[in-house]
Chains A and B, each alone.
Chain A
Amino acid sequence: MTGYNLRGMWTLYRHEMARAIRTSGQSIVAPVLTTALYFVVFGTAIGSRMATVGTVDYGAFIVPGLIMMSVLTQSISNASLAIYFPKFTGTVYEILSAPLGYGEALVAYVGAAATKSVIIGLIILATAFFFVDLHIVHPVAMLGFLVLTAVTFSLMGFIIGVWAGNFEQLGFVPMLVVTPLTFLGGAFYAVDMLPEPWRTVTLFNPVVYLISGFRWAFFGQGDVPVLLSLGMTGLFMVAAIAAIAWIFRTGYRIKP
Chain B
Amino acid sequence: MTNILSVQGLHKTYKSGVVALHPTDLDVRKGEIFALLGPNGAGKTTLISLICGLVMPSGGHVAVGGQDHVKRFRDARRLIGLVPQEMNVDIFTTPMRAVRLTRGLFGKKPDDAYLEQLLRDLSLWDKRDARLIELSGGMKRRVLIAKALSHEPEVLFLDEPTAGVDVELRRDMWKLVHRLRERGVTIILTTHYIEEAEEMADRVGVINKGRLLLVDDKDALMARMGKRQLIVTLQSPLAALPASLDRPGLALGGEGTTLTYSFDSHAGDTGIADLMRALQAEGIAFSDLDARRSSLEDIFVDLVAEDRSRAA
Name A residues whose Cβ lies closer than 8 Å to a Cβ of B. 1-8, 10-12, 14-15, 18-19, 85-86, 89-91, 93-101, 250-251, 255-256
Contacts and interface: CB of A to CB of B under 8 A. Distances in A.
A8 B106 CA distance: 6
What are the 5 A-B residue pairs with the smallest beta carbon separation, nearest first? A11-B104, A90-B88, A99-B74, A99-B77, A98-B105
A255 B92 CA distance: 24
Name which of B55, B89, B91, B104 has the most chain A CB atoms within 10 A of its CB.
Answer: B104
A3 B76 CA distance: 13
A51 B81 CA distance: 64
A18 B72 CA distance: 31
Interface of B: 14, 52-56, 72-78, 80, 82, 84, 86-92, 97, 101-102, 104-109, 147
Nearest to A90: B88
A7 B56 contact: no
A90 B55 CA distance: 13
B80 A97 contact: yes
A1 B88 CA distance: 30
A5 B54 contact: no
Given A8-B106, A15-B101, A89 B91 contact: yes
A200 to B, nearest CB: 42
Contacts of B84: 90, 93
A96 B56 CA distance: 11
A8 B109 CA distance: 10
A90 B108 CA distance: 23
Contacts of A97: 52-54, 77, 80, 82
Contacts of A90: 84, 86-88
Contacts of B82: 93, 97
A256 B105 contact: no
A95 B105 contact: yes
B140 to A, nearest CB: 12
